[in-house]
Amino acid sequence: MSIELYWGSGSTPAWRVLLALSAKNLPFTSHLLSFSKRETRTPEFLAINPRGKVPTLKDGDLVINESLAILAYLDSAYPAVPLLGRTAAETGEIWRLVMEYESHGSPTFGAVARPISFGTLAQDETKVREALPALIAELDLLAARVANGPLVGGTLSAADLVWFCGVQTLVRAATRPAAAPLDLGVWPLGARWPAIVRWAGLIEALPGYDATMPPHWLEGDVPSPARVE
Ligand SMILES: N[C@@H](CCC(=O)N[C@@H](CS)C(=O)NCC(=O)O)C(=O)O
Protein backbone atom coordinates (compact mmCIF):
# COMPACT_ATOMS: atom_id res chain seq x y z
CA MET A 1 0.00 0.00 0.00
CA SER A 2 1.30 3.43 -0.88
CA ILE A 3 -1.45 6.00 -0.84
CA GLU A 4 -0.93 9.50 -2.22
CA LEU A 5 -3.53 12.25 -2.04
CA TYR A 6 -3.67 15.37 -4.20
CA TRP A 7 -5.81 17.95 -2.48
CA GLY A 8 -6.39 21.69 -2.17
CA SER A 9 -6.91 23.92 0.84
CA GLY A 10 -10.61 24.60 1.40
CA SER A 11 -11.86 21.98 -1.07
CA THR A 12 -14.83 20.29 0.57
CA PRO A 13 -14.57 17.14 -1.57
CA ALA A 14 -10.88 16.84 -0.71
CA TRP A 15 -11.58 17.36 2.98
CA ARG A 16 -13.95 14.37 2.97
CA VAL A 17 -11.14 12.16 1.80
CA LEU A 18 -8.65 13.58 4.32
CA LEU A 19 -11.15 12.82 7.08
CA ALA A 20 -11.74 9.31 5.76
CA LEU A 21 -8.00 8.63 5.75
CA SER A 22 -7.85 9.89 9.36
CA ALA A 23 -10.84 7.83 10.45
CA LYS A 24 -9.32 4.75 8.84
CA ASN A 25 -5.90 5.57 10.25
CA LEU A 26 -4.28 5.18 6.83
CA PRO A 27 -0.91 6.84 6.28
CA PHE A 28 -0.49 8.68 2.98
CA THR A 29 1.78 11.03 1.09
CA SER A 30 0.26 14.49 0.87
CA HIS A 31 0.38 16.62 -2.28
CA LEU A 32 -1.18 19.97 -1.42
CA LEU A 33 -1.87 21.79 -4.70
CA SER A 34 -2.30 25.54 -4.87
CA PHE A 35 -5.40 26.74 -6.74
CA SER A 36 -4.01 30.27 -7.10
CA LYS A 37 -0.81 28.95 -8.68
CA ARG A 38 -3.00 26.78 -10.97
CA GLU A 39 -1.26 23.62 -9.81
CA THR A 40 -4.40 21.64 -10.69
CA ARG A 41 -3.78 22.58 -14.34
CA THR A 42 -0.20 21.42 -14.81
CA PRO A 43 0.43 18.78 -17.48
CA GLU A 44 1.57 16.37 -14.73
CA PHE A 45 -1.67 16.71 -12.77
CA LEU A 46 -3.92 16.74 -15.86
CA ALA A 47 -2.31 13.45 -16.83
CA ILE A 48 -3.88 11.81 -13.78
CA ASN A 49 -7.02 13.97 -13.62
CA PRO A 50 -7.99 15.40 -17.01
CA ARG A 51 -10.65 17.57 -15.34
CA GLY A 52 -7.99 19.28 -13.21
CA LYS A 53 -9.92 18.81 -9.97
CA VAL A 54 -8.99 17.64 -6.51
CA PRO A 55 -9.16 15.26 -4.77
CA THR A 56 -7.21 12.65 -6.68
CA LEU A 57 -6.00 9.55 -4.90
CA LYS A 58 -3.24 7.25 -6.04
CA ASP A 59 -2.70 3.85 -4.51
CA GLY A 60 0.32 2.31 -6.15
CA ASP A 61 -0.45 2.49 -9.87
CA LEU A 62 -4.16 2.97 -9.35
CA VAL A 63 -5.60 6.48 -9.79
CA ILE A 64 -9.07 7.40 -8.55
CA ASN A 65 -10.77 10.75 -9.07
CA GLU A 66 -14.04 12.02 -7.58
CA SER A 67 -14.31 12.16 -3.79
CA LEU A 68 -17.22 9.74 -3.43
CA ALA A 69 -15.54 7.20 -5.68
CA ILE A 70 -12.42 7.55 -3.54
CA LEU A 71 -14.45 6.91 -0.38
CA ALA A 72 -15.97 3.81 -1.97
CA TYR A 73 -12.53 2.59 -3.06
CA LEU A 74 -10.97 3.13 0.36
CA ASP A 75 -13.81 1.29 2.08
CA SER A 76 -13.44 -1.67 -0.22
CA ALA A 77 -9.62 -1.75 -0.18
CA TYR A 78 -9.21 -0.96 3.54
CA PRO A 79 -12.32 -2.29 5.31
CA ALA A 80 -10.91 -2.51 8.85
CA VAL A 81 -12.69 0.72 9.82
CA PRO A 82 -15.82 0.70 7.64
CA LEU A 83 -17.25 4.08 6.64
CA LEU A 84 -19.92 2.82 4.25
CA GLY A 85 -21.75 0.50 6.58
CA ARG A 86 -21.37 -2.80 8.37
CA THR A 87 -24.62 -4.19 7.00
CA ALA A 88 -26.53 -3.80 3.76
CA ALA A 89 -29.13 -1.71 5.58
CA GLU A 90 -26.48 0.66 6.92
CA THR A 91 -24.86 0.95 3.49
CA GLY A 92 -28.18 1.97 1.98
CA GLU A 93 -28.80 4.54 4.73
CA ILE A 94 -25.32 6.01 4.44
CA TRP A 95 -25.50 6.37 0.66
CA ARG A 96 -28.96 7.93 0.94
CA LEU A 97 -27.60 10.55 3.35
CA VAL A 98 -24.52 11.17 1.22
CA MET A 99 -26.69 11.70 -1.84
CA GLU A 100 -29.08 13.89 0.15
CA TYR A 101 -26.10 16.09 0.90
CA GLU A 102 -25.17 16.23 -2.79
CA SER A 103 -28.75 16.92 -3.91
CA HIS A 104 -30.05 19.13 -1.09
CA GLY A 105 -27.40 20.06 1.48
CA SER A 106 -24.72 21.25 -0.91
CA PRO A 107 -26.87 23.58 -3.05
CA THR A 108 -28.66 24.96 0.00
CA PHE A 109 -25.49 25.60 2.02
CA GLY A 110 -23.75 26.91 -1.10
CA ALA A 111 -26.52 29.39 -1.90
CA VAL A 112 -25.67 31.17 1.35
CA ALA A 113 -21.97 30.42 1.74
CA ARG A 114 -20.66 30.95 -1.77
CA PRO A 115 -21.60 34.62 -2.27
CA ILE A 116 -20.01 35.42 1.10
CA SER A 117 -16.88 33.38 0.48
CA PHE A 118 -16.43 34.48 -3.14
CA GLY A 119 -17.10 38.17 -2.49
CA THR A 120 -20.29 38.53 -4.57
CA LEU A 121 -22.56 39.59 -1.70
CA ALA A 122 -23.11 43.07 -3.12
CA GLN A 123 -25.01 41.68 -6.11
CA ASP A 124 -26.30 38.48 -4.46
CA GLU A 125 -27.57 39.67 -1.06
CA THR A 126 -31.24 39.27 -2.02
CA LYS A 127 -30.60 35.73 -3.24
CA VAL A 128 -28.80 34.92 0.02
CA ARG A 129 -31.73 36.18 2.08
CA GLU A 130 -34.15 34.19 -0.08
CA ALA A 131 -32.01 31.07 0.49
CA LEU A 132 -32.02 31.42 4.30
CA PRO A 133 -35.30 29.62 5.09
CA ALA A 134 -34.17 26.53 3.18
CA LEU A 135 -30.81 26.64 4.97
CA ILE A 136 -32.49 26.81 8.36
CA ALA A 137 -34.74 23.88 7.41
CA GLU A 138 -31.66 21.83 6.43
CA LEU A 139 -29.95 22.64 9.73
CA ASP A 140 -33.11 21.76 11.67
CA LEU A 141 -33.27 18.41 9.87
CA LEU A 142 -29.59 17.70 10.44
CA ALA A 143 -29.87 18.61 14.13
CA ALA A 144 -32.77 16.18 14.55
CA ARG A 145 -30.82 13.44 12.79
CA VAL A 146 -27.70 13.83 14.93
CA ALA A 147 -29.50 14.38 18.23
CA ASN A 148 -28.20 11.01 19.45
CA GLY A 149 -24.79 11.07 17.77
CA PRO A 150 -23.61 9.81 14.37
CA LEU A 151 -26.10 9.76 11.50
CA VAL A 152 -26.19 5.98 11.01
CA GLY A 153 -25.69 3.03 13.33
CA GLY A 154 -24.11 4.82 16.29
CA THR A 155 -20.70 5.07 14.62
CA LEU A 156 -19.12 7.66 12.33
CA SER A 157 -19.61 6.98 8.64
CA ALA A 158 -19.06 8.66 5.29
CA ALA A 159 -22.44 10.35 5.77
CA ASP A 160 -21.12 12.20 8.82
CA LEU A 161 -17.91 13.22 7.06
CA VAL A 162 -19.73 14.54 4.00
CA TRP A 163 -22.27 16.59 6.01
CA PHE A 164 -19.58 17.80 8.41
CA CYS A 165 -17.50 19.34 5.59
CA GLY A 166 -20.61 21.14 4.36
CA VAL A 167 -21.36 22.49 7.82
CA GLN A 168 -17.78 23.67 8.16
CA THR A 169 -17.91 25.62 4.90
CA LEU A 170 -21.07 27.27 6.16
CA VAL A 171 -19.44 28.17 9.48
CA ARG A 172 -16.46 29.55 7.59
CA ALA A 173 -18.75 31.81 5.55
CA ALA A 174 -20.96 32.82 8.46
CA THR A 175 -18.00 33.98 10.53
CA ARG A 176 -16.38 36.10 7.83
CA PRO A 177 -16.58 39.85 8.40
CA ALA A 178 -18.55 40.22 5.14
CA ALA A 179 -21.38 38.17 6.66
CA ALA A 180 -21.71 40.28 9.82
CA PRO A 181 -24.03 42.97 8.40
CA LEU A 182 -26.35 40.27 7.04
CA ASP A 183 -27.26 39.10 10.55
CA LEU A 184 -27.86 35.59 9.22
CA GLY A 185 -29.02 34.22 12.54
CA VAL A 186 -27.09 30.99 12.02
CA TRP A 187 -24.03 31.86 14.07
CA PRO A 188 -23.00 30.57 16.53
CA LEU A 189 -24.58 27.29 15.42
CA GLY A 190 -24.58 26.08 19.02
CA ALA A 191 -27.11 28.71 20.07
CA ARG A 192 -29.83 27.19 17.93
CA TRP A 193 -28.46 23.78 17.01
CA PRO A 194 -26.39 22.47 19.95
CA ALA A 195 -26.82 18.90 18.67
CA ILE A 196 -24.89 19.83 15.51
CA VAL A 197 -22.00 21.22 17.55
CA ARG A 198 -21.93 18.10 19.76
CA TRP A 199 -21.96 15.86 16.68
CA ALA A 200 -19.28 17.93 14.94
CA GLY A 201 -17.12 17.37 18.02
CA LEU A 202 -17.12 13.63 17.28
CA ILE A 203 -15.49 14.26 13.91
CA GLU A 204 -13.17 16.91 15.32
CA ALA A 205 -11.96 14.29 17.82
CA LEU A 206 -10.68 12.00 15.04
CA PRO A 207 -6.93 11.37 15.30
CA GLY A 208 -5.12 13.82 13.06
CA TYR A 209 -8.17 16.04 12.61
CA ASP A 210 -6.18 19.26 12.91
CA ALA A 211 -4.00 18.28 9.96
CA THR A 212 -7.13 17.92 7.79
CA MET A 213 -8.23 21.52 8.39
CA PRO A 214 -7.78 23.72 5.30
CA PRO A 215 -4.44 25.39 6.04
CA HIS A 216 -5.48 28.78 4.70
CA TRP A 217 -8.55 28.84 6.96
CA LEU A 218 -6.27 28.74 9.98
CA GLU A 219 -3.50 31.00 8.77
CA GLY A 220 -5.08 33.44 6.36
CA ASP A 221 -6.16 37.03 6.68
CA VAL A 222 -9.59 35.86 7.88
CA PRO A 223 -8.94 32.96 10.28
CA SER A 224 -11.82 30.58 10.89
CA PRO A 225 -12.62 28.73 14.09
CA ALA A 226 -10.97 25.31 13.99
CA ARG A 227 -14.04 23.80 15.60
CA VAL A 228 -17.74 24.12 14.80
CA GLU A 229 -19.18 26.40 17.48
N1 LIG B 1 -17.21 16.10 -7.87
C2 LIG B 1 -15.82 16.33 -7.55
C3 LIG B 1 -15.61 17.83 -7.33
C4 LIG B 1 -14.15 18.20 -7.34
C5 LIG B 1 -13.97 19.71 -7.41
O6 LIG B 1 -14.82 20.46 -7.92
N7 LIG B 1 -12.83 20.17 -6.92
C8 LIG B 1 -12.53 21.58 -6.97
C9 LIG B 1 -12.24 22.11 -5.56
S10 LIG B 1 -13.63 21.97 -4.52
C11 LIG B 1 -11.26 21.82 -7.77
O12 LIG B 1 -10.37 21.01 -7.76
N13 LIG B 1 -11.15 22.94 -8.45
C14 LIG B 1 -9.91 23.31 -9.08
C15 LIG B 1 -10.07 23.90 -10.41
O16 LIG B 1 -11.21 23.88 -10.94
O17 LIG B 1 -9.06 24.37 -10.93
C18 LIG B 1 -15.44 15.51 -6.31
O19 LIG B 1 -16.34 15.21 -5.50
O20 LIG B 1 -14.28 15.12 -6.18
At 187, is the pLDDT very low, low, confident or very high (cuts 50, 70, 90)? Answer: confident
- The pLDDT of 25-52, averaged and rounded, is 98
DSSP state of 24: T
Model-level pTM? 0.96
Q: Contact 207/18 with Cβ under 8 angstroms? A: no
pLDDT tens-place string over residues 116-162: 989 999 899 999 999 999 999 999 999 999 999 999 999 999 999 99
Domain with CATH 3.40.30.10 in the chain: 3-77
Percent of the chain residues past pLDDT 90, beyond the cut = 84
Domain with CATH 1.20.1050.10 in the chain: 88-219
User: Using CA positions, which residue lies closest to atom 11 of ligand 1?
Assistant: 53
Coil/strand/helix, residue 61: coil
Above 80 in pLDDT, residue 221? no
Q: Residue 38: what residue type?
A: R
Q: Is any ligand 1 atom within 6 A of the Cβ of residue 53?
A: yes
At 175, is the pLDDT very low, low, confident or very high (cuts 50, 70, 90)? Answer: confident
Q: What's the confidence (pLDDT) of residue 222?
A: 65
Q: Omega of the bond prior to 55 within 30 degrees of 0, cis?
A: yes
Q: Does domain 88-219 have CATH number 1.10.1370.40?
A: no
Q: What's the confidence (pLDDT) of residue 178?
A: 87
Atom in ligand 1 nearest the alpha carbon of residue 70: 20
Residue 229 CA to residue 225 CA, distance in Å, equals 8
Residue 17 CA to residue 127 CA, distance in Å, equals 31
Above 90 in pLDDT, residue 67? yes
The CATH number assigned to the domain with range 3-77 reads: 3.40.30.10
Q: What's the confidence (pLDDT) of residue 184?
A: 81
Sign of CA dihedral 210, 160, 145, 166: positive
Atom in ligand 1 nearest the alpha carbon of residue 11: 10
**Helices 158-174 and 12-23: angle between axes, nearest 10 degrees:** 130
Above 80 in pLDDT, residue 7? yes
Other beta carbons within 10 Å of 187: 18
- CA 185 to chain CA centroid, Å, is 22
Q: What's the confidence (pLDDT) of residue 55?
A: 98
Min mean pLDDT across 26-35, 63-72, 179-188, 191-200 is at 179-188
Above 80 in pLDDT, residue 225? no
More confident residue, 154 or 182: 154
User: Using CA positions, which residue lies closest to atom 2 of ligand 1?
Assistant: 66
